[in-house]
C-alpha cells in the first residue's frame, strides 16, 4: 500500500516482532522494506523523504526486534524463568498451576506454538529485559538497540503517538503479543528512562483481531516425540482459539482501556491449506523455510491500518471501539470492488486510482517491457524518454532500475524458465473466490496473454480505460507515452520530490493517473 502511494505524507516507524530471528516470513518482510527504502534513497536522504500523491510516497523506518531464545540457556520456559533455582520449589509449584510440563519444556526458538498464556508472559518480559539492558548500557545487542530507538520515538511523539499492531488471535506470537504490547511499551519506556519517562496517556493504540484463515498439516507423533517438540501448533484448533480470543478481547478490562480501535477481520470460507503441495515431511514450525503465501485477509489488515492512521473518529472514547466491514458473500463467492477496502465515495476512488495505477505500472514494466522475463523493464521507460530527447533521468543507474524492476516482480509476477511465478498480487488474488477489484484478465497466468496485455484495460469500468485501449490499431501504450511526454505530467512542486529517482516515479505516476481518468 505504501508503494501504491496510499500512505501519502506519512512517515511510519515499523517494529517487526518475532521469537524467531531467522523466520522466513519475517526476513521476507524486512527485506521488502529495505528494498523499498533503497528505491526511495536520495543523495542526501537515506530512505528518502515523505512525498505526496505519487508512488512510494511514505517514508518507512525499520526496526527489528526478536526474543532471544536461540541458545542452550534460554531455549524453554524452565531455563528462562530459572524456576528450579528456588530451593523451596514454590516457583515450580506456581508454574505447574498454569503450565503443563510439556509447555514448560518445548523449544521456544520457533515461537509460542499457540500457547498464548505462556507467550503473553514471555513477550512482556522480553520487552522488559531489553529495556533493562538499555538502561544498564552494557552488552547491548543490535536488536535491543533498535527496540530502544523505536520506544524513544514513541515517547518523543507524546500524545500524537499512534501505534498499530498487526497480528492474528488464533496462533502464537501475534496472539500472545497484542494483549500486552501497550503495557509492555509503557513499562519499557519507564525502565529505559529510569522512571523519569512514561508513555503519554494520550497515545493511541489500535490492532487487528484477525481470526483463522489458514491451516496446515497436522503434526504426527514421530515429530512430536523429538526433544523440545512435544508442543506443536495444531490448526484444527484454530477455530476454537479464535472464539476464545474474541471472548477475551470483548471482556478484558485492560485490553478495552488500553486500545482505542480494534478491527475484527475474519474469513468466511474454508481456511487455505498452506501445506498443500508442500513436500516437507514434517509440520514447519518456523525458521527460514516458513514462507507462507500471501492472503487477502492480510491486505485487509493493512486497510485497517489506513483507517487508524487517517481517521480520529472513535479515538477519544474511554473504551475500545470494535470495528468490522461487511462485503458481498453468497454461495461461497466473494466479490470485492474498490469500495470494499478503505471506504467508499472519495476513499473508494482513491483506492481505485492508486491500486489501479500501480498494477498498470507493474504490467507496463513486466509485461510490455518484458521485465518479468529477465529484461530491465523499468529501464525501458528511460529508453523511451531518451528516444524522445527527454534526458531528465539519465543519471539513474542500472542498479536503481534493476532494483525497482525486481520490486515490481515481487509485487506482480516473474517468469522462471518459461514458468509463471506468482508474486504478492497474484497470490492475494488466488485467495479470493470471486472478483478482485479489476478485470480478471489482469491476473492472467498465460504467458502469451501477458505478452499482449494492455495495461490500460485493467478495470471492468470502461470509463477508466485509457484512450486507445482495445483499439484494432494497437493498445493504449502509445497513449501512455504521449502522456509521459506532456509537460503537465512532469513532477509538480506539491509532490515534494527532490531526488531524480523520486521525480522519475512521480512522472510515471502522473502519466498513468492522467491516462486512467479516475476523478
Q: What is the pLDDT of residue 241?
A: 85
Mean pLDDT score of the chain: 91
**Burial (CB count <10 Å: 0-12, 13-18, 19+), residue 313:** exposed
Q: Give the residue among 322, 181, 195 at the shortest CA–CA distance from 258.
A: 181
* Sequence-ordered list of residues with C-beta below 8 angstroms from that of 193, at least 6 positions apart, any chain: 155
The residues pairing with 422 across neighbouring beta strands, listed in sequence order, are 413
pLDDT tens-place string over residues 323-374 = 998 888 888 899 999 999 999 999 999 999 999 999 999 999 999 999 999 9
**Contact criterion met (CB below 8 Å) for 2 and 60:** yes
Instruction: Give me 423's grid cell.
Output: 508474486
Instruction: Give me 499's grid cell.
Output: 531526488
Q: Assign residue 370 a region: left if phi > 0, alpha if psi is -120 to 50, beta otherwise?
A: left
Q: What angle (nearest 5°) sits at the alpha carbon of residue 417, between those of residues 416 and 418?
A: 90
* Strand 419-422 versus strand 413-416 pairing type: antiparallel
| Percent of the chain predicted with pLDDT > 70 | 96
Q: Tell me how far the alpha carbon of residue 404 is from its chain's centroid.
A: 18
Domains and CATH numbers, the chain: 11-69+107-325 (3.40.50), 346-516 (no CATH)
Q: What is the pLDDT of residue 303?
A: 98
* Strand 328-330 versus strand 59-66 pairing type: unpaired
pLDDT of 217 strictly over 70: yes
**Between 416 and 475, residue with greater pLDDT:** 416
Instruction: Give me 261's grid cell.
Output: 480501535
| Phi, then psi, of 40 in degrees rounded to 5 | -85, -20
DSSP H/E element including 431: none
**Contact criterion met (CB below 8 Å) for 134 and 187:** no
pLDDT of 176 strictly over 60: yes
Q: What is the pLDDT of residue 274?
A: 75
- CA 52 to CA 41: how far, in whole Å? 16
- CA 316 to CA 261: how far, in whole Å? 10
Which of the four pLDDT bands, split at 50, 70 and 90, describes residue 478?
confident
The maximal CA–CA distance of the chain, rounded, in angstroms, is 88
Which of the four pLDDT bands, split at 50, 70 and 90, describes residue 14?
very high
Q: Kindly report the number of other CB atoms within 10 A of residue 25's CB atom.
A: 15
- CA 450 to CA 27: how far, in whole Å? 30
Q: Give the residue among 512, 514, 490, 513 at the shortest CA–CA distance from 503.
A: 490
The residues pairing with 57 across neighbouring beta strands, listed in sequence order, are none
* Sequence-ordered list of residues with C-beta below 8 angstroms from that of 393, at least 6 positions apart, any chain: 382, 385, 500, 503, 504, 507
Which of the four pLDDT bands, split at 50, 70 and 90, describes residue 109?
confident
Q: What is the pLDDT of residue 471?
A: 62
What share of residues in the chain are helix, strand, coil (percent, to 5)?
A: 45, 10, 45
**Contact criterion met (CB below 8 Å) for 373 and 405:** no
**Between 238 and 514, residue with greater pLDDT:** 514
* Region 277-302 average pLDDT: 81
- CA 1 to CA 304: how far, in whole Å? 12
| Least confident range of 81-95, 120-134, 413-427, 505-519 | 81-95
Q: What is the pLDDT of residue 397?
A: 95
Instruction: Give me 281's grid cell.
Output: 515431511
* Region 314-319 average pLDDT: 88
* Region 462-479 average pLDDT: 78
Q: Kindly report the number of other CB atoms within 10 A of residue 274's CB atom.
A: 18
Amino acid at each position: 500500500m505504501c508503494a501504491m502511494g496510499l500512505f501519502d505524507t506519512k512517515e511510519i516507524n515499523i517494529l517487526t516482532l518475532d521469537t524467531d530471528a531467522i523466520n522466513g516470513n519475517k526476513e521476507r518482510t524486512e527485506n521488502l522494506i529495505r528494498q523499498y527504502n533503497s528505491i526511495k534513497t536520495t543523495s542526501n536522504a537515506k530512505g528518502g523523504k515523505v512525498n505526496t500523491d505519487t508512488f512510494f510516497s511514505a517514508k518507512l523506518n525499520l526496526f527489528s526486534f526478536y526474543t532471544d531464545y536461540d541458545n542452550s540457556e534460554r531455549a524453554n520456559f524452565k531455563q528462562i524463568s530459572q524456576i528450579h533455582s528456588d530451593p523451596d520449589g514454590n516457583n515450580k509449584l506456581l508454574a505447574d498451576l498454569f503450565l503443563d510440563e510439556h509447555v514448560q519444556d518445548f523449544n521456544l526458538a520457533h515461537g509460542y506454538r499457540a500457547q498464548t498464556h505462556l507467550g503473553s508472559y514471555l513477550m512482556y518480559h522480553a520487552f522488559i529485559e531489553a529495556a533493562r539492558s538499555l538502561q544498564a548500557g552494557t552488552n547491548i545487542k543490535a536488536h535491543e538497540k533498535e527496540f530502544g530507538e523505536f520506544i524513544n520515538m514513541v515517547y518523543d511523539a507524546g500524545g500524537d503517538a499512534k501505534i498499530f499492531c498487526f497480528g492474528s488471535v488464533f496462533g502464537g506470537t501475534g496472539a500472545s503479543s497484542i494483549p500486552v504490547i501497550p503495557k509492555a511499551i509503557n513499562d519499557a519506556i519507564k525502565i529505559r528512562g529510569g522512571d523519569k519517562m512514561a508513555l503519554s496517556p494520550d497515545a493511541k493504540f489500535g490492532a487487528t483481531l484477525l481470526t483463522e484463515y489458514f491451516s496446515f498439516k497436522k503434526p504426527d507423533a514421530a515429530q512430536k516425540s523429538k526433544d523440545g517438540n512435544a508442543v506443536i501448533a495444531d490448526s484444527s484448533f484454530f477455530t476454537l482459539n479464535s472464539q476464545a480470543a474474541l471472548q477475551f478481547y470483548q471482556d478484558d478490562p485492560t485490553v478495552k482501556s488500553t486500545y482505542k480501535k480494534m478491527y475484527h477481520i475474519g474469513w468466511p470460507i474454508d481456511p487455505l491449506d498452506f501445506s498443500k503441495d508442500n513436500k516437507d515431511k514434517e509440520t514447519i514450525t518456523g525458521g527460514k523455510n516458513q514462507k507462507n503465501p500471501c492472503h487477502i485477509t492480510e491486505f485487509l489488515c493493512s486497510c485497517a491500518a489506513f483507517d487508524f492512521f487517517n481517521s480520529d473518529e472513535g479515538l477519544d472514547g474511554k473504551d475500545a471501539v470494535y470495528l468490522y466491514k461487511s462485503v458481498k458473500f453468497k454461495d461461497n463467492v466473494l466479490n470485492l470492488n474498490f469500495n470494499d477496502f478503505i471506504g467508499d465515495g472519495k476513499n473508494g476512488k482513491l483506492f481505485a486510482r492508486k491500486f489501479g495505477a500501480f498494477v498498470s505500472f507493474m504490467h507496463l514494466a513486466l509485461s510490455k517491457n518484458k521485465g518479468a522475463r529477465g529484461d530491465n523493464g523499468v529501464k525501458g521507460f528511460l529508453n523511451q524518454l531518451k528516444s524522445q530527447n527527454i534526458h531528465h533521468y539519465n543519471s539513474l543507474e542500472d542498479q536503481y532500475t534493476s532494483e525497482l524492476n525486481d520490486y515490481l516482480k515481487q509485487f506482480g509476477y516473474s517468469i522462471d524458465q518459461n514458468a509463471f511465478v506468482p508474486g504478492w498480487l497474484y497470490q492475494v488474488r488466488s485467495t479470493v473466490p470471486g472478483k478482485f477489484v479489476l478485470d480478471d484478465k489482469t491476473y492472467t497466468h498465460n504467458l502469451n496473454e501477458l505478452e499482449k496485455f494492455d495495461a490500460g484495460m485493467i478495470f471492468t469500468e470502461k470509463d477508466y480505460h485509457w484512450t486507445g485501449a482495445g483499439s484494432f490499431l494497437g493498445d493504449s501504450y502509445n497513449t501512455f507515452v504521449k502522456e509521459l511526454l506532456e509537460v503537465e505530467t512532469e513532477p509538480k512542486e506539491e509532490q515534494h520530490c527532490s531526488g531524480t529517482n523520486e521525480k522519475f516515479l512521480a512522472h510515471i505516476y502522473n502519466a498513468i493517473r492522467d491516462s486512467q481518468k479516475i476523478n
